[in-house]
Amino acid sequence: SKQNQSVSFFQGGRDTQNLGIAPVNTVRGGAEQGTYVCKELVFAYAMWISPSFHLKVIRTFDRITSAPQTSSGMAADKMQAGVILLGFMRKELNLSNSSVLGACQKLQEAVGLPNLAPQYAIDAPAGALDGSSRPTLALSALLKQHGIRMTANQAYQQLAKLGVVEHRERYSRSAINGIKKFWSLTAKGCMFGKNITSPANPRETQPHFFESKFPELLKLLDTVH
């Protein structure tokens, strides 16, 4: 018939052959024996013989691909971006466990997830065996507490020579040349303290030092010339 001829012509066409899939599959024997045509070929043939169906397919594809993203999709993208950013910040800025936990809790809230994170994290020096957090203070407070006549900035400069802290930079409109510098503990420095998110700016870290390790840190400061 004319219809069978058009089907045969379509099956043998170059575009059909270039689909890269077997258009017809024949199963011989068994309960599922028969000849099966792949779904893609059925759609392609329908588009070939019916201009109106072809137009519907194009409009449907355009509507789906140009539709605004669903809220669940946006939440998933936010979550993925947040996890990547958090992983980068933890690695690059040596953020403390408690700071990472706080960021995770905010990320959960932002994307509408239930709060599955623990309520607290342990911040302690390497080698601490009791599983408890250690109290920390800012450098200026510890210097004052131990009667050290040195400013925090002077101490930071000395600690930088020891590789305990380092300068980090961030963009700032109000800073000179648009760059704001801040101190951050290095991986080595995390033996003596932790990096918390700065109260002054969430894009900065602020070193806090373990009170129990500060006498050891003062001995190191005495070695700097």
**Is 126 inside any structural domain?**
no
- Domain range enclosing 163: 131-225
Number of domains in the chain: 3
104/182 same-domain check: no
For residue 11, is it within any domain? yes
Exposure string of 184-212, with b = 16+ CB inside 10 Å and e = fewer, is bbbeebbbbbbbbbeeeeeebbbbbbbbe
Average pLDDT (194-209) is 86
- Judge if pTM exceeds 0.75: no
In the chain, what percentage of residues exceed pLDDT 70?
A: 59
Compute the distance between CA of residue 89 and CA of residue 103 in angstroms, rounded to an integer. Answer: 10
- Look at residue 35 and tell me if it is in a domain: yes
Cβ atoms < 10 Å from Cβ of 14? 6
Residues in contact with 102: Cβ distance below 8 Å, sequence separation at least 6, in sequence order: 197
Clarify whether residues 205 and 155 are in a common domain.
yes
Q: Is the pLDDT of residue 129 over 50?
A: no
Tell me the three state secondary structure of residue 162: coil
